[in-house]
A and B are shown apart, each in its own frame.
Chain A
């Protein structure tokens, strides 16, 4: 299970931009490394990342080998309804993962 952290402000005002920070445990293997016995380690990056707020997708991303291991993202979203904001991903190996936070809109 991939560990991840997501941080949103504790309260946000409706219509305002709020900051989302997410950090995901993932090796982001480039595909160019070899292990101790010389075997190639296959590429494994976060090919699909989707940020879902309520029922809307507010950001789609594709993070390749040019993004550092244990990727970190900070971005902004418009506050609408109170409810969950979920960051979902699938990596090159097909492993899915999610981390979510509750957005509290005043």
Chain B
């Protein structure tokens, strides 16, 4: 996905251009227009709106190798009890299989934080969606550049 067509990357590059002198880039808050069209995701949503801001998907901006990219999904101050997080799903924009993983909690966990390593078939966006007890969806979208290895490995 090139910088021209990926709206998130355009905003990120614009934000980077606006900052001066080595400050860490603030995470750009996604909006509904940043969510890529993924059929499995749309089927799961079933028309429900996505709310942004509480769920955070943390990945490196650039991955040296798409085989294993560190990923952390976290919701600070998550609601408890019946309104708590019941499941988290990860969707890939361009992997052959869009649903990367799903995590289900019979009882909301004491801390909504899961870390793992994802596999990415190239530069793309990844969407994390948490479903709350009442069916509401909280989401985050990130854009990751996956670079190719400099040398081929036939070992």
The interface of chain A, by Cβ under 8 A from chain B, is 16-17, 28, 30, 32, 56-69, 71-78
Contacts and interface: CB of A to CB of B under 8 A. Distances in A.
Contacts of A59: 103-105, 109
Given A60-B104, A63-B101, A76-B111, A32 B96 contact: yes
Interface residues of B, number: 29
9 contacts: A59-B105, A60-B104, A64-B101, A67-B118, A67-B119, A68-B68, A69-B68, A74-B113, A78-B109
Contact of B109 (A66, A73, A76): A76
Majority secondary structure, A binding face: strand
The 3 A-B residue pairs with the shortest CB-CB distance in the complex, in nearest-first order: A66-B100, A17-B110, A68-B68
B97 A73 contact: no
Nearest to B113: A76
A71 B70 CA distance: 11
A28 B114 contact: no
